[in-house]
């Protein structure tokens, strides 16, 4: 294992950025609609695939079904930040981590106490009326039966997440790319280098060390400077003590 070498790099780095992959959210207990077993369960229960239900089409035309699915599968499986997220918080507090970039929508890093987090796909923790702009908590949506409507103007409240079929916010993507371009060390945690997250931002990295920590070997691993295999929740606490 490369524990000591990675620890030395992380503790001496002046600017580390983390790409936080899907393994971390899955291990934390979050719902993942690309999981084959989960997708089968959704289709059996609702008669539609998760991709169909978690879409702008369902939100706009089958709104009640959208929120039934959303409350049950997403808000009902928010997960709990694991040990790897707590290590990232400690790294940030120690001044060793300048930012986290993630595609997950469950707010894991922020719930763990991290502050500089770029959530590319938004977060279920934020909800807003698209008409008047009034904001609502996740608990308001979770505890509301049927279609949640704004208390002010009665429009349907919109979870602040990127649904299937929507484009990412350009300003958010640009901010993430700038963060990666300034990094001295890039920590890719819980995904392969071929993943959508890594594939989108690796081209902006001009730093010194690319550290990859994920569970299973992949043919793109050779692009990393240092590789460590294992679940992020198990590996990262052993590295950064």
Per-residue model confidence as pLDDT tens digits over 69-101 = 999 999 999 999 999 999 999 999 999 999 999
Whole-prediction pTM value? 0.94
- Return the beta strands (E) in the chain as ranges: 16-20, 99-102, 117-119, 122-128, 135-137, 158-161, 185-189, 209-214, 226-229
CA separation, residue 236 to residues 5, 67, 216, 226 (Å): 13, 36, 15, 14
Closest CA to 88 of 33, 28, 145: 28
CATH of the domain at 15: 3.40.50.1220
Domain identity same for 227 and 172: yes
Check whether 158 has a pLDDT greater than 90: yes
In this structure, the answer to whether residues 235 and 130 fall within a common structural domain is no
Average pLDDT, the chain: 94
141 lies in the same domain as 116 = no
Q: Which tens digits make up the pLDDT trace of 186-220?
A: 999 999 999 999 999 999 999 999 999 999 999 99
- Identify whether residues 143 and 212 lie together within a single domain: no
Q: Do residues 57 and 134 share a domain? A: no
Domain boundary among 135, 161, 187: 161
Whether 13 and 70 share a structural domain:
no
Q: Among positive and negative, which fits the CA dihedral 92, 94, 97, 99?
A: positive
User: Is the model's pLDDT at 1 over the cut of 80?
Assistant: no
Q: Name the catalytic one among 34, 77, 121, 144.
A: 121
**Quick one: 222 and 173 in the same domain?**
yes
Do both 49 and 70 map to the same domain?
yes
Inter-residue contact 138 to 75 (CB < 8 Å): yes
My answer on whether 208 and 193 are in the same domain is yes
Q: Catalytic residue at 144?
A: no
One domain for residues 69 and 86: no
The full DSSP string for 146-173 is SS-B-TTT-PBPEEEE--BT-PPPHHHH
What distance in Å separates the CA atoms of residue 84 and residue 238, rounded to the nearest whole number? 10
* Strands 122-128, 135-137: pairing kind: antiparallel
For residue 49, what are the domain limits?
Answer: 31-77
Structural domains counted in the chain: 3
7 & 51 share domain: no
Same domain for 42 and 129, yes or no, is no
Query: CA distances (Å), 38 to each of 76, 96, 208, in order?
Result: 13, 36, 39
Give me the pLDDT at residue 42, please: 87
């Amino acid at each position: 294992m490369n524990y000591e070498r990675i620890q030395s790099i992380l503790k001496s780095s002046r600017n580390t950025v983390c790409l936080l992959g899907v393994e971390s959210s899955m291990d934390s207990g979050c719902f993942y609609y690309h999981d084959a077993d989960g997708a089968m369960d959704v289709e059996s229960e609702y008669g539609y695939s998760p991709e169909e239900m978690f879409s702008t089409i369902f939100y706009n035309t089958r709104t009640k079904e959208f929120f039934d699915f959303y409350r049950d599968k997403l808000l009902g499986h928010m997960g709990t930040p694991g040990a790897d997220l707590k290590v990232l918080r400690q790294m940030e507090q120690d001044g060793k981590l300048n930012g986290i970039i993630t595609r997950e929508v469950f707010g894991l890093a922020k719930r763990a106490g991290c502050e500089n987090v770029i959530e590319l796909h938004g977060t279920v923790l934020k909800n807003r009326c698209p008409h008047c702009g009034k904001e609502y908590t996740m608990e308001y949506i979770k505890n509301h039966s049927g279609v949640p409507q704004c208390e002010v103007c009665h429009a349907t409240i919109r979870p602040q997440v990127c649904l299937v079929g929507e484009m990412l916010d350009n300003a958010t993507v640009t901010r993430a790319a700038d963060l990666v371009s300034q990094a001295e060390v890039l920590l890719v945690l819980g995904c392969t280098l071929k993943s959508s997250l890594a594939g989108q931002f690796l081209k902006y990295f001009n730093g010194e060390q690319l550290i990859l920590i994920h569970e299973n070997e992949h043919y793109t691993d050779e692009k990393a400077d240092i590789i460590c295999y294992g679940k992020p929740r198990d590996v990262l606490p052993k590295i950064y003590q």
